[in-house]
Structure 1
Amino acid sequence: MSTAVDPTRTPPPPAARLREATGADGEVVAQLVRELAEYEREPQAATATGADFARALEPGSGIGCLLAEVDGPGGPEVVGMALWYTTFSTWQGRRGMWLEDLYVRPEHRRRGIARSFFARLGALCAERGYGRLEWWVLDWNTPAQGFYRTLGARPEDEWTVWRLDGERLARLASQGPAIP
């Protein structure tokens, strides 16, 4: 029995390679963040520049970023990122990892890239003795929530995020310390 090749069938996409981002990747990280902000319906909120990310990704900053690359017509093409930083749990007495942003360009989704990001982040946590890997997900992003459940993640429903920023943060700071 021979197997015929169907010329109308699209070959599977090439696997993505993961690599650590450096300051030289600042502009591509900024672009991916802008795309993520657009997806999350807040394009005006993404004000960070390539220079901001170049500074943030300096060695020893406590901020890490993995990039996913595929071979494109002009060479390697970045198609996704996972940007994280270290946290600390007083309950565990150990560092943890906060995944600030995970984004895969729409045309490269459902190829295992996000799962590869999580596998690598989990390995980093294990290598470094981190006790947690945590992140936020928007309430309306049910596809992401479903994916996270397949990883074994669970929502922390008993906690509510609180925030001070912009004018409110500046106003609080201007009040000075409460204790003389």
Structure 2
Amino acid sequence: MRIEQATPDDVDVISVILGEIEDYYGGTAAPGDPEQIRAALFDGRPAATVLLARDGEQVLGLASYSLLWPAVGADTSLYLKELYVREAARRRGVAGALMEALRTEAARAGCSRVEWTADADNPLALAFYQTLGTEPRDGKIFYRAELP
């Protein structure tokens, strides 16, 4: 298995995986719009970076992240938005490899920490994050404002 940063050639597989993620969370299992993905990841001002876990040509999973500023003082943090391992590749160390790659990316970018959220009703994810030696943090409440 190798972890690589996604390129414009990966838009189609990212689109399919986004559909799988929607299905996993109970939404409509429709692929993501390739043009929106291309604009978000590969235009002049990318919104995120995607790491892909591969076994040969097969994509096993992805991690999508952005850098946030400020973190502590004037530090930067790496914010993991999505960690997803495709069903056939689960329990094979893919998520752990992606998390390790995220730590490497954060260190390379000079970040002081890696941060993420997890759904309270996803016990498998919560158990996995606990195996990393992390504990849930108190003190923040998550908000979301939808735009028209």
| Both proteins in one fold, TM over 0.5 | yes
Percent sequence identity over aligned pairs: 29
| Paired amino acid for 1:104 | V
Per-residue CA deviations over 1:21-41 (Å, capped at 9, x if unaligned) read 012211211211110111111
Normalising by structure 2, report the TM-score: 0.89
For residue 138 of structure 2, what is the amino acid of its counterpart? D
Match of 1:80 in 2: 61
Q: Deviations over 1:106-134 (max 9, x none)?
A: 11111111000010110111121101211
**CA distance in structure 2 between the aligned counterparts of 1:153 and 1:121, rounded to whole angstroms:** 15
2:21 maps to 36
Quote the offset at 1:90 in angstroms: 5.0
Moved over 3 A (4+): none
Which among 119, 122, 143 is matched to residue 141 of structure 1? 122
Distance 2:101 2:27 in 1: 28
Q: Aligned-pair RMSD on alpha carbons?
A: 1.9
Q: What is the 5 A alignment of 1:124-163?
A: 124-163=105-144
Larger Rg: 1
Q: 1:110 aligns with which of 91, 95, 98?
A: 91
Match in the other structure for 2:2:
17
**Contact 1:100 / 1:135 at 8 angstroms: preserved in 2?**
yes
Structure 1 residue 141: deviation in Å?
A: 0.6
Contact 1:104–1:113 (CA under 8 A) maintained in structure 2: yes
* Alignment match, 2:33: 49
* Structure-2 change in CA distance of 1:55 and 1:23 (3 Å): farther
Consecutive unaligned residues of structure 1, counting only runs of 5 or more, are 1-15, 171-180
